[in-house]
Structure formats: structure tokens, C-alpha cells
Amino acid sequence: PRLSGNMRSLILLFAIVACVSGDNLKEVTQKVFFDISIGGEAAGRITLGLYGNTVPKTVKNFVELSTGQHGFGYKGSIFHRVIKDFMLQGGDFTNFDGTGGKSIYGNKFEDENFKVKHFVGALSMANAGKNTNGSQFFLCTVATPWLDGKHVVFGEVVDGMDIVRKIESGKTNRRDKPEKEVKITDSGLVE
């Protein structure tokens, strides 16, 4: 069957809207910074762009943990797990080993959505299964498509990927913990 001119125009319009909407999923609405030390020496700053229109609840949690406005958060916490050619994991500011942390909503909160897929430099929520987000997060150092649909991507590294690579290349023990402590010495909102 042939499509009328109006029908072809309508289909084209839907295709354009779909493409534009896909690009908007990664629109950075806020930025936060992590000042990093490695082995007690200042290493530099990582700036993270957050997708507040796509995952507002997840972004709100991350921003407020970055500012520490609830009396707890990322400042002073460590990257407790680093796996070369995979990711850096942090955000456990209660136990410092991947077993703790908490969100601004309580210990855990639900997966908001899985609209954004994992890519090099993606910022994603670490979890212990479905709907178990807290404060732990990871930064992808490679594309990780096997994590799509399982972890909520809510931002990206916008500056400081060289610091991410420096952390990634550091020596770790058999449990993937960096031999030299990788600490978030300060964190907050980029104004």
C-alpha cells in the first residue's frame, strides 16, 4: 500500500522527534566535582555531568550526597574497587568497602529507568540487584553493554578523564582495592 503525502510527513515528524528525544536523554542539567587524592597526594578534579531531566530522582540523590547537605555524603569517602579496563567504584561512605552507603531517601531506592546505555565515561549506580540503589556508583572506563538494563546511568565524566585513567592504572590487591588510597577529598556542586 502507498502512503499519502500527509502520512509520509507524519512518519518523518515522528522519526525526527524520536532522534531528538534520544539525544536529550544525555542532556547535562547539573555538574558536580570530586577532588581526588591518591596515596595522600592531590591528583586533580573529576567533573561529572548529570542527566537531571532523564533521571531526576537519581540525580537529586547524587547531588545532595555530593554537597553533604544531609550531614553525610561523598566527601572523605574512597574508591574501594578499581578494575582495569572495566570501572572504578565508590560511594560507600559508611563501611568504605562496598558493603555500605545509603541514599537521601533511606538505605535503598528503586531503579528510576534504564533509558541511557553504558559507554566510556558513564556514571552509573552500583547496586546489589533490582531496586537496591543507595550511594554507591561506578565510572565506566570501557563500554559495558552487559550492564544495560541492570544499572541506572545518570551522568558522565565531562572533565578529568585523565584522573579516571590514572586511578584505573594504579595497582590493586586481589580484591580490586587500590594499594594507594584513592580518596574524594572534597565534593560539591559546580556553579
Is 81 a catalytic site residue? yes
Our separate counts of H helices and E strands in the chain read 3, 8
Helix (H, G, I), strand (E, B) or coil at 56: helix
Catalytic residue among 48, 80, 81, 139: 81
**Which uninterrupted H or E stretch holds 88?**
strand 87-90
pLDDT in tens, 65-102: 999 999 999 999 999 999 999 999 999 999 999 999 99
Is 165 a catalytic site residue? no
Is 139 a catalytic site residue? no
Query: What is the reported pLDDT for 19?
Result: 47
d(CA 154, CA 80): 20
Is 61 a catalytic site residue? no
pLDDT band at 8 (very low <50, low <70, confident <90, very high): low
Average pLDDT, the chain: 92
Query: What is the reported pLDDT for 43?
Result: 98
pLDDT in tens, 11-57: 555 555 544 445 689 999 999 999 999 999 999 999 999 999 999 99
DSSP code per residue over 10-64: HHHHHHHHHHHHHHHTT---EEEEEEEEETTEEEEEEEEEE-TTTSHHHHHHHHH
Is 136 a catalytic site residue? no
* Cα radius of gyration (the chain): 18
Instruction: Find cell 558493603 and name the residue.
Output: 99
pLDDT in tens, 105-119: 999 999 999 999 999
Query: What is the reported pLDDT for 161?
Result: 98
pLDDT higher than threshold 60 for residue 173: yes
pLDDT higher than threshold 70 for residue 150: yes
Catalytic residue among 89, 123, 139, 154: 89
Catalytic residue among 33, 48, 137, 151: 151
- Copy the grid coordinates of residue 64: 545532595
d(CA 90, CA 83): 12
- Other beta carbons within 10 angstroms of residue 55's beta carbon come to 24
Query: What is the reported pLDDT for 14?
Result: 56
Catalytic residue among 72, 86, 114, 119: 86
d(CA 39, CA 22): 40
User: Looking at residues 136-159, what average pLDDT do you find?
Assistant: 98
